[in-house]
Structures are given as C-alpha cells and as structure tokens.
Amino acid sequence: MPCFLGGADLEKRDFMDTAGLLVALSECCGTSGRENEAAAFVERELSKYAEVKRDNLGNVIGKMAGDGPRVMLEAHLDEIGLVVTGIDEEGFIKVEAVGGVDRRVLPGCEVVVFGKYPLPGVVCTLPPHLTKDGDRKKVPAVSEMAVDIGFGYERAKELVSPGDRAAFKNRAARLLEGQVCGKALDNRAGVAALLRCAEMLSREKTGVEVAFAFCTREETGQQGATAAAFSVEPDIAVAVDVSYGLTPDSPKIKCGRVGGGPMIGVAPVLSKDVTDLLFRVAKDKGIAFQTEIMAGRTGTDADVIAASRSGVKTGLVSVPLKYMHTPVEVVDAGDVEAAASLLCEFVKAAKEGILL
Amino acid sequence: MMKILKELCGAGGISGDEGKVRDIILSRIGGKAEYRVDSLGNVLAFKKGAKRPPKRVMFCAHMDEVGLIVTYIEDSGVLRFDAVGGIDPRVLPGAKVKVGAGGIDGVIGQKPVHLLKDEEKGAAPDIEQLYIDIGAKDKAGAEKYVKPGDSVVFEGGAELFGDGLIKGKALDDRAGCALLLDLMTADLPFDAYFAFTVQEEVGTRGAKAAAFSIEPDIALVVEATTAADVAGVERAKQVCRLKSGAVLSFMDKGTIYDKELYSLAFEIAREKGIGCQAKAAVAGGNDAAAIHSSRGGVRTLALSVPCRYIHSPVSVMAREDLESARALLFELAKRLPALK
C-alpha cells in the first residue's frame, strides 16, 4: 500500500535523522480504524529489530526475546480524521469527526478522502457575505460541514461510500531549531520514539524481553491497546503519547515546554514504581525531562493497559506537542530522541527486577 | 494555460509585494509587447494589433493575492500578524504559511481544543488571538529570519482536481493574469493595452494609477469571483456556479457596470455558443471600482471565472469556465475596440 502523501519517494527518504522519520511518519495516513499506511510503515521499520505480527484489530506488535520481567512499550498508531456519513445531491461529501478533531481548523482545510482511491478534497466554506452576522463568530458542527471532492453526485457515489475515512492533507515540514510540523504527530511522535528505542535496544543486546505495541483506535476509545495489553500480557508497561506543549495562549500549568524534554506522567492510575524508576533513570543518565501531573486518568492508552487482566504496572511518557488535533501539530525532534533514550534506559534498569 | 497558471499560483504575492508574480509576467511578455513598470509596481503593456481601433481598450487583471503581514514578534518567538485583504479569520487556524522573502515555513496555531471551555470550542477566533509559529524558541531566534512587515502567504500552487476542476492558491486573480497573458501572445485584430495591477485586495489602488496612465475609453476587468454553489446554500443565493460559464457582472459593491457592454457580452456569448452567466448578487468588488471613475469616466465591464472558497488558502474553479472566459475575452478583444 503506497503512502499517498509520502509519494513514491518515501523509500528513498533518510530516516537516520529523527526529524526525517517524523516527517515520513506524519505523512502516512492512519485515521482510527484505517491505520493501514502507518501500520505498514511501522511493520517494515520494526521488523529490522523484532519479530513482528499484526493482530485482529490491526495492532502491530514486535517482540524482542529475552528474560526478566516482560516490558511492553506502547504508542498509538492512529490519528484523528473524518468519516464519510453520506453524499448530498450535488456530490458534496457529508462527514462526522473521528476522534476529537478541532473543528475550528476545518473550514477551508484540505483533506484526502479514502474512497475507491485517495481523493483530494476541500472542506467547504461559505463566502462571508452569505454568513449571517450572528454566525460569523461561530464554527459549525462537523456534521453540518461537507467536503468538496470536485465530482458530481453520480461519480461521487461510485467513488465514495459511507464509512470511508478522510485525513488531513498537509505536507509535514521542518521548522526552525529542530521543530517539525505535521498532521499526525499525535501520535507519530510517540511511534518515532518507540522505533528509535527499538533500534537502540537491538544494538545494545540488553537481553530484556520487550514487546513493542503500536496500537490502533486510541482516538476513538483505546480499543487497540485494550486488546494488545491482553495478548502481550506484560508485567510492566510504558505508554508513549503526546501532551500539551506550551504556547503563548495556553495555561502554563497544563503544558510542557517543547524542546524541554519528554514529560513523565504522574497520575493516580499510573504505577508509582514505574513512574519513580522513570524519574530515577532520567536523572541518573542526564536525560532532560519534565513532569506532567494529572489528577485521575491520563486520557491515553496507559489507562486501559494499567487495568488489563489482573493489572499492569504502567507508566506514561509524553512528547510535548503544540496545536494538538490540527493539521499543523508541532514537536521538537530532540524531545523524541530524549524519550527514546529514556525508554531504552528504563528497559535496562527494569531488568534488574527492582519493580517486581 | 495550466502550466502558466501553476507557475503564477505557486508564486507568493500579497498586496504591496507582488514582485515574484510580476517577474513571471514580465518574463512572458518580453518581446511580445511594449511594457513598463510604473511607480506603484503595475505592469502596463501595449500590444500592436492589425489595426488602430477607434476606441482604446484596457484589459486588466490584478497580480496581488490576499495574505498576511507580520506585525510583531513576541518574546516567545511567535509572530503576530494582520490580514492583508479580506480574509475570513475562520480559515486561518491550522493553515501552513510561508513567511518573508526567504519563505520560512510556519503554522498558524491556537490553544489546543482540549484546553478550551465548551463554549469556546465552536467559537471562531479573532485575528488578534492567532499567531504564526516558525519553530523559533524566542524572539532572538525568530528575528534571525523574520521582521515586522514581512509578507506571509499561504502555501500552495495549483493542480487538477475532481472532474475537470482546478484547486489552487490565489486563483483570484492569477486566473485573470493567465487569461491576459494568453491574449497577449495571440495575433490581435486591434491595438490593445494591458494592466497587471498591484494592491487590488487593499482597495484597488494599483488600478487607479493604471487607468490614469493608460487613459482608456473602455476597460475590461478579468477576475475570479465568488461561486457559492457549495453544500447547504440554496440555488438563489449561490451568486454563480461552477461549470456554468464565464460570469458577467451588472453591479457589485464598487461598480455599476456599463449596461451596453454587459448586454453586448451576453449577445456575443450567445452568438458564439460560449457558456456565460450573470453574477446573481450585488456583492464583492474589483479593480473596476477605481477604473470606471478614472479621469472623465471609463466604460467598464467585468468578466470573471467562478471560483469557490475565494480568499481562503485553497480555492476551486472549473477548467471549462476558464475556457469560456478565454473564448469570450478573445471575442471581446475583437469587438470592444471597434465600438463607435
């Protein structure tokens, strides 16, 4: 399956550089429930380091044999997007949100509709003179929006069916100072950190049994991770996701600084042992980190993994990300690299058995 | 036509900073017409035709596009901006942009949806709330690449789309520029004057100077105009529709068009079997506003290509409408100069 946005040159790209890996991953499409392009990319990269299989929900799971506690490192593969609900009589495609799309970005936004083949589209906007004064300050509900794919009703009906997914169409790019922007860095940033970590662990031959789980459907309720945690049956797990990066208009208290290192999560639902070990390893190894406090659940796959079977000691590492759930999410490649190092050092420390 | 349109749409040229578009136009008209660039940056050109006509006709299209301008660099390194031309702020969040002469990549960000109160989630932003993030970590980092006053354009070019459509940035009014360039490369029956104007989007300022200099008897403004034939808009309010031909205006917010020219253009279209529709709303405005009231008055007509999502990062028009506009433009170039 070719990656539509990455184009034919994807194979040739240089993934040695983490920013390059982030660009390539972000351009793979993987709206929840249709993660195939992102999954194919991860499967190819991960099989360089681990025994890889796909399960019934599309999760990509790679295993590195070893002994000691079984550690699962997890990142979700899917991204938010749209799902087709119908076609109007003029051929415009009616849609609904998949995951928590920020609908403020949709008017005038370019998307790809995955019909019979990938179809570029534009989310309709009304010209200002047709917008009632009272509505100028309002963004309509997603169900009231439509996507223009440039075809009339008959042709549109042949090409697109209800249930087809759509994703943001936006080329990822390198910004200044090591930052990268892209449409799906939530959570391809976590995916990149895990792939980098797998590479490091395979080089170091740590001998710890590690499962890498790249899970589907996080944005729609963490169903992928629920199944993956059940099958992998880990003793210890760390989920890697993204969290709020500080911007001038965001509350400081809820945000990490982009470029300030990965955020180690502290929350009632997370294992204190795992969290403490993450902090200790970061300090011992001089890896930059920040702390993220959550008062209950974390809103990530960590929540379901921790409650899997008879319970899994679970921690959370997050890459700070700006403009979450928009086509222009931004992360710092350095934070992704630091997260990978943190995970790698964590796995090595976990081998010592102190957690069990 | 597609080739030149792609090149023109790919160039960034907000009002007051049309240099890149002008360079493309000059490279195309060199050797084909006499031209000069005036004090405001308009390209004024004269092409000799087979005959000297009784009426001097000016064909006009504007080079500039809507965009943004950097107004301030925050300590945090993000850029504050204002809109250049009429932009609905609702199309800005999540847009990818190119900043300054160097074309630095930037994104238009805002507070994440997860951190908003419920009532804020459906609220369109004010332009003052938005900012551009270029990845700089502080003011000094940003100042290496950007300064207040720098132009910001949406990212994009033009490409074929759907069933015979074109999707692109700044089709308003690079489509008009492409049509005029096409006309200029043909053998013309009469002498013709051309104005590729600046600053249309900030109040038709270039056209005012161009009309003064050229002193035409008749002007034809070639434009892109709002097509509202999109989901959820009833037929009566659609202004004009894609695939329904070139658009002729009888009146908009800036101009009451010359009635005879308007009727003549429809007549010619009917005679030649060229798709043509009336702009069914008194909305918007264009260079005609400045031209028709220039000096002692100029008989003025606007010929437009219908265009969806105008003034947003990506707009859509139909190739067949562009062809209709081209055909009608060529016919008008034969008929207008010969008018008594």
**What ipTM was estimated for this complex?**
0.90
Q: Which residue of B has its CA nearest to A148?
A: B230
Question: pTM of the predicted model, to two decimals?
Answer: 0.91
CA distances to B188, B244, B280, B323 from B304, rounded to whole Å, are 21, 12, 13, 11
Residues B74 and B109 in one domain: yes
The DSSP symbol for A213 reads E
The pLDDT, as a whole number, for residue A171 is 87
Question: Which residue among B78, B104, B283 places its CB closest to the CB of A129?
Answer: B283
Query: Is A10 touching B (CB cutoff 8 A)?
Result: no
Residues B185 and B319 in one domain: yes
Nearest to A186 by CA among A53, A338, A318: A318
CA distances to A48, A208, A210, A219 from A51, rounded to whole Å, are 8, 14, 11, 26
Q: What is the DSSP string of B270-310?
A: HHHT--EEE--S-----THHHHTTSTT--EEEEEEEEEBTT
What mean pLDDT comes out for the span B88-94?
91
More confident residue, B129 or A5: B129
Q: Under a CB-based contact definition with an 8 Å cutoff, are residues A236 and A313 in contact?
A: yes
The pLDDT, as a whole number, for residue A6 is 42
Partners of B122 in the beta sheet? none
Residues B177 and B212 in one domain: yes
The pLDDT, as a whole number, for residue A12 is 47
Q: Which residue of B has its CA nearest to A326?
A: B94
Q: Is A117 helix (H, G, I), strand (E, B) or coil?
A: coil
Question: Which residue among B90, B163, B309 places its CB closest to the CB of A151?
Answer: B163
Q: Is residue B158 part of a domain?
A: no
CA distances to A26, A93, A100, A239 from A31, rounded to whole Å, are 12, 17, 12, 20
CA distances to A43, A58, A275, B334 from A186, rounded to whole Å, are 19, 18, 22, 58
Residues B232 and B334 in one domain: yes
More confident residue, B16 or A14: B16
CA distances to A18, A51, A193, B167, B226 from A21, rounded to whole Å, are 5, 21, 10, 29, 41
Q: Under a CB-based contact definition with an 8 Å cutoff, are residues A79 and A42 in contact?
A: no
Q: pLDDT digit of tens for each residue in chain A (356 aa)?
A: 333 444 434 444 455 689 999 999 999 999 999 999 999 999 999 999 999 999 999 999 999 998 888 999 999 999 999 999 999 999 999 999 999 999 999 999 999 999 999 999 999 998 877 777 777 788 899 999 999 999 999 999 999 999 999 999 988 999 999 999 999 999 999 999 999 999 999 988 777 899 999 999 999 999 999 999 999 999 999 999 999 999 999 999 899 999 999 999 999 999 999 999 999 999 999 999 999 999 999 999 999 999 999 999 999 999 999 999 999 999 999 999 999 999 999 999 987 766 65
Residues B266 and B283 in one domain: yes
Q: Is residue B142 part of a domain?
A: yes
What mean pLDDT comes out for the span B199-208?
96
Residues B51 and B121 in one domain: no
Q: Which residues contact A44 (CB under 8 A, 6 or more apart)?
A: none
pLDDT at B104 over 80: yes
Residues B203 and B277 in one domain: yes
**Residue B149: which CATH number?**
2.40.30.40
Cis peptide preceding A273, ω within 30 of 0: no
| Arch. (CATH architecture) of A81-168 | Beta Barrel (2.40)
The pLDDT, as a whole number, for residue A9 is 46
The pLDDT, as a whole number, for residue A4 is 41
Question: Which residue among A105, A151, A326 places its CB closest to the CB of B162?
Answer: A151
Domain tally, chain B? 2
Q: Which residue of A has its CA nearest to B234?
A: A130
**Residue B11: which CATH number?**
3.40.630.10
Q: Quote the minimal CA–CA distance from A235 to chain B in Å.
A: 32
Residues of B in contact with A322 (CB under 8 A): 109, 112, 133
Burial A226-258 (b: 16+ CB within 10 A, else e): bbbbebbebebbbbbbbbbbbbbebeeeebbbb
Considering A79, A218, A219, A345, which one is annotated as catalytic? A218
Q: Is residue B159 part of a domain?
A: no
What mean pLDDT comes out for the span B94-121?
92
Last residue of a domain, one of B153, B187, B220: B153
Question: Which residue among B86, B114, B228 places its CB closest to the CB of A126?
Answer: B228
Helix axes A333-351, A185-204, angle to 10 degrees: 50
Fold observed for domain A8-79+172-351: Aminopeptidase (3.40.630)
Please state, in angstroms and rounded to a whole number, the distance separating the CA atoms of residues A136 and B198. 29
Q: Is residue B77 part of a domain?
A: yes
User: Within 13 Å and on the Cβ side, how many CA atoms surround A7?
Assistant: 8
Residue A218 bears catalytic tag: yes
CATH 2.40.30.40 residue window(s) in chain A: 81-168
How far is CA A167 from its chain centroid? 13
Query: Is A148 touching B (CB cutoff 8 A)?
Result: yes
pLDDT at B249 over 80: yes
Summary mean pLDDT of chain B: 96
Nearest to B292 by CA among B210, B225, B223: B210
* Residue that the structure tokens 């590690």 belong to: A210
Residues B146 and B181 in one domain: no
Residues B221 and B292 in one domain: yes
Range of the domain at B304: 2-65+169-338
The pLDDT, as a whole number, for residue A354 is 63
Residues 306-345, chain A, touching B (beta carbon < 8 A): 322-328, 330
Q: Given strand B315-318, what is the order of strands in its sheet?
A: B158-161, B165-168, B315-318
The pLDDT, as a whole number, for residue A5 is 41
The pLDDT, as a whole number, for residue A1 is 31
CA distances to A115, A197, B56, B181, B335 from B53, rounded to whole Å, are 55, 76, 7, 21, 10
Q: Is residue B254 part of a domain?
A: yes
Residues B71 and B58 in one domain: no
